[in-house]
Amino acid sequence: MEKKRCNFSFGNGKISEKVLLYHDTRWCKTEHRDRELFAMLVLEGMQAGVSWNLILDKEENFRKAFDGFDPQTVANYGEEKIEALMQDQGIIRNRSKIKAAITNARAFLKVQEEFGSFDAFIWSFTDGKAVDHHLSDIKDMPAKDALSEKVSAEFKRRGFKFVGPTIVYSYLQGIGVINDHWEYCDFR
């Protein structure tokens, strides 16, 4: 018997294996590894204005270009590295987004220092519990909510960039703080 999936994840036409794998194994699944929490923050920021499918297609290139998303390394990038990234055809070559990734790495490290881990910080907004919206239709899924607005405001206060409430909502889904798999989805 074929497994049921949230049908909004697949767009029109052919479903890529990367999209299926992301939906089935990562989306709305709790993530607690700081490096992966940073990776998803960068990827979500890169996604602004482009499709998530494009980000997934380029994800491995991003991981290589951004030194495995090691926040300590990214925080130390200078103009030479920015210029190299601007020439890398395997990633989104947007100077503002690249600079935001560096700024966010620095802010991320400050959060780690203050809270002991970024994981402790991000999960503190929900007392360590995932928020499950028990959705039954795409029309029920918001682009943002009170939680993403609160987290976005705190990110901005701490100097993060490309962290508006819509990007943060998607980020919270991506790291499992929010579970928006539909009720009938076998991958809840």
Instruction: Identify the CATH number of the domain in which residue 85 sits.
Output: 1.10.340.30
171 is catalytic: no
* Phi, psi for residue 76 in degrees, rounded to 5: -95, 5
Residue 161: inside a domain: yes
Flag whether 125 is in a domain. yes
Whether residue 7 is contained in a domain is answered as: no
pTM: 0.94
- Per the structure, the count of domains in the chain is 1
User: Which pLDDT score is estimated for 47?
Assistant: 95
Residue 22 forms part of a structural domain: yes
Instruction: Answer whether residue 118 is part of any domain.
Output: yes
Q: For residue range 46-78, what is the model confidence (pLDDT) as tens digits? A: 999 999 999 999 999 999 999 999 999 999 999
Say which of 17, 27, 31, 44 is annotated catalytic: 44
- Find the catalytic residue in 27, 52, 169, 182: 52
Residue 5 within a domain: no
Catalytic residue status for 114: no
Question: Domain containing 51: what range?
Answer: 17-179
52 among known catalytic residues: yes
Any domain includes 163: yes
Tell me: pLDDT of 12 over 60. Answer: no
Is 10 among the domain residues? no
